[in-house]
Chains A and B, each alone.
Chain A
């Protein structure tokens, strides 16, 4: 039957749609990241160079309150908190802030801090030139250390935003960090 060939061709074409849609599912991942960057959807902050941060004109007529939060993901035996829990800042000016963390465990652990800014619309105006979250942090047993952060809020922050909350969560990445160093050692 000629029909059989036509049916098979049709089925093949639809199979291609299936494959394309499977790919589209994965394409949603970069798409999501782009949308997040444009809208600040997931509260991710941006990293900028120090000279770029100097380029902003400080708006000394305006005050914004920045609140700091530190939390630790369940399963990581660390203590983690900001040294100062809030500060008042001018948009466009560089500021330093510090967090402090302690490893309560008797073995060395590696943590990765993940930032989140609320409200989401403030996220893309919150820039950091230096942050302990840019790299993984290794803590020896019982070690306590201060973790520095340097940030600037650009003057384009919407006028109605009076308070910006910057929250960090520490995740335990000891197992993957070990694997990474091992592969690096192997490569060398």
Chain B
């Protein structure tokens, strides 16, 4: 491995200061950049959520005018999906995958640098639309025409920024897939890979398959608006419903892009704190693959009310319900891993347990929404808002937080403050439920989403949701404090950090050397 040593020596003389971060091709540096970027976006998107909840604290119009309110719902979604959750998972993948498969770095380090550095520009463009004539995009993150084509000057800027986000995540995904398939240490067969690596491999393929479809859809919007095409313009022979089909062909796999890596995180954390190997490893792999496959044939359950033939409604209803089977396998396996285990409840485990319980609640409300005849009542109500926030906040976001607590000692070499971590968990869990649980009730009672005002009978539950949202938002400042405190110092973390931890990343020192494995490790 003389070439690898030379490679390492070359990288020892990396620039310091800001240029280190701009020019870096190191997977750990880029992982850190992704994670901090996601953290900042979490607070920006969170501030927008608080504008929404402040307005909805009472019935009537209080603080913002309806157009700006709609901008907030649209921008909150775009920022949280493309700016917070997806970059956070890419950051975790950058940090962890080379260490988990025994590789020195990512397969394509320069492209890695590029795929990160596109993001700040994409979001600078997106955020700049807030100051444009006609306001920021306000037609919903789903960009349905013809409404979205009424956006003012912001439309082409939003489309450009979506193209850049898509490019960034496609390049990130190609890099991750190439790393996993080409850079594994000898002996690391596919079925020996940690589940986080497996879930990311499948997520990578999903990204490669559907992000270009979104790019196509927004390009069609652009040409419809500015170049006289009629893809979605009924007057010219197009069909606005077709946009919904194309969008959700991207959109449904997208929701699994947002959740599959969390399954990998939880499958790493639960065995560590149960001190037992993961129950049903291969069934986990097959379950992940079947979820990914099914995600391509269920898109129209987002649009049951557009007027579909009965056979279409039935097909998409049953296909959607079928997803509950592999997902059920996963939840069963996590519970079976804990069964008769020597459980301890450190912060990562608390967040993982919170994930399992609350993600399952979101899964059940998803099953309710899958019932086509019932969906006519639930469609576009706060019940939908409750459902997807349960799978995304105490789902994806809790998994990301759990991952940060779990691997932060490995990354920094310091233990975090366990007492503060536990307080952070309990504050987050109480407030997240206070925010989103009442939304089920107001949704079933008929409160529509994306409206700045509501009927008086929804007032009490909305006030509770708003209190919860502010509580949850400010609890995350505690998380920021804990992370900063751990980066700066704290008790020394051992190589293995957790007594029950298993995997190649724990054989490296904490913090790990700049290049993970310069000689491939032996894999049992």
* Residue among B178, B181, B231 with the highest chain A CB neighbour number at 10 A: B178
Q: How far is the CB of B519 from chain A (nearest CB, A)?
A: 14
- Is A1 an interface position by the 8 A CB rule? yes
- Is A48 an interface position by the 8 A CB rule? no
Evaluate whether A112 and B182 lie within 8 angstroms (CB atoms) in the complex, with A1-B7, A11-B175, A15-B174 already known.
no
* Residue among A18, A23, A121, A173 with the highest chain B CB neighbour number at 10 A: A18
A10 touches B182 (CB 8 A): yes
The range of chain A's interface size is: 35 or more
B234 touches A171 (CB 8 A): yes
B213 touches A6 (CB 8 A): no
Contacts of B3 on A, CB cut-off 8 Å? 1
Q: How far is the CB of B491 from chain A (nearest CB, A)?
A: 38
A32 touches B239 (CB 8 A): yes
- Is B245 an interface position by the 8 A CB rule? yes
- Is A184 an interface position by the 8 A CB rule? no
Chain B 225-255 interface 0/1 with A at a Cβ cutoff of 8 Å (1 = within): 0001001001110010110011001000000
**What residue of chain A has the Cβ atom nearest to residue B308's Cβ?**
A41
Contacts of B179 on A, CB cut-off 8 Å? 7
- Is A129 an interface position by the 8 A CB rule? no
A41 touches B309 (CB 8 A): yes
B170 touches A18 (CB 8 A): yes
Residue from A7, A18, A121, A172 in contact with B107 in the complex, judged by beta carbons closer than 8 Å: A7
Contacts of B170 on A, CB cut-off 8 Å? 18
**A interface majority secondary structure:** helix
B208 touches A18 (CB 8 A): yes
Contacts of B309 on A, CB cut-off 8 Å? 39-41, 120-121
B213 touches A7 (CB 8 A): no
B210 touches A169 (CB 8 A): no
Residue from B173, B231, B235 in contact with A112 in the complex, judged by beta carbons closer than 8 Å: B235
Residue from B213, B220, B231 in contact with A21 in the complex, judged by beta carbons closer than 8 Å: B213
A21 touches B208 (CB 8 A): yes
Contacts of B358 on A, CB cut-off 8 Å? none
**What residue of chain B has the Cβ atom nearest to residue A3's Cβ?**
B182
- Is B307 an interface position by the 8 A CB rule? yes
B213 touches A42 (CB 8 A): no
Contacts of B216 on A, CB cut-off 8 Å? 22-26
CA distance A73 to B233 in the complex (A): 12
- Is B209 an interface position by the 8 A CB rule? yes
Which residues 1-35 of A sit at the B interface, judged by CB distance below 8 A?
1, 3, 6-8, 10-11, 14-15, 17-19, 21-26, 28-29, 32
Chain B 164-196 interface 0/1 with A at a Cβ cutoff of 8 Å (1 = within): 000000100111011101110000000000000
CA distance A118 to B234 in the complex (A): 16
Contacts of B173 on A, CB cut-off 8 Å? 14
A176 touches B182 (CB 8 A): no
CA distance A15 to B170 in the complex (A): 9
CA distance A1 to B220 in the complex (A): 42
CA distance A169 to B174 in the complex (A): 46
Q: How far is the CB of A1 from chain B (nearest CB, A)?
A: 5
- Is A104 an interface position by the 8 A CB rule? no
Residue from B108, B210, B249 in contact with A8 in the complex, judged by beta carbons closer than 8 Å: B108
A42 touches B182 (CB 8 A): no
CA distance A76 to B182 in the complex (A): 60
- Is B217 an interface position by the 8 A CB rule? yes
- Is B215 an interface position by the 8 A CB rule? yes
Q: How far is the CB of B20 from chain A (nearest CB, A)?
A: 23
* Residue among B208, B209, B228, B235 with the highest chain A CB neighbour number at 10 A: B235
In the complex, besides A14-B174, A25-B249, A42-B242, 20 extra interface pairs with C-beta distance below 8 angstroms are A1-B4, A11-B107, A11-B174, A14-B173, A17-B208, A18-B170, A18-B174, A18-B211, A22-B212, A25-B213, A41-B241, A41-B307, A43-B307, A112-B235, A118-B307, A121-B309, A171-B234, A173-B235, A176-B236, A179-B228
Closest 5 CB pairs of A and B: A25-B216, A171-B235, A22-B212, A7-B107, A21-B212
Residues of B within 8 A of A (CB): 3-4, 7, 107-108, 111, 170, 173-175, 177-179, 181-183, 208-217, 220, 228, 231, 234-236, 239, 241-242, 245-246, 249, 307-309, 312
Can you name 11 A-B pairs with beta carbons within 8 Å?
Answer: A11-B107, A21-B208, A23-B216, A24-B216, A25-B214, A25-B216, A26-B220, A29-B242, A41-B307, A112-B235, A172-B235
Residues of A within 8 A of B (CB): 1, 3, 6-8, 10-11, 14-15, 17-19, 21-26, 28-29, 32, 36, 39-43, 73, 112, 114, 118, 120-121, 169, 171-173, 176, 179
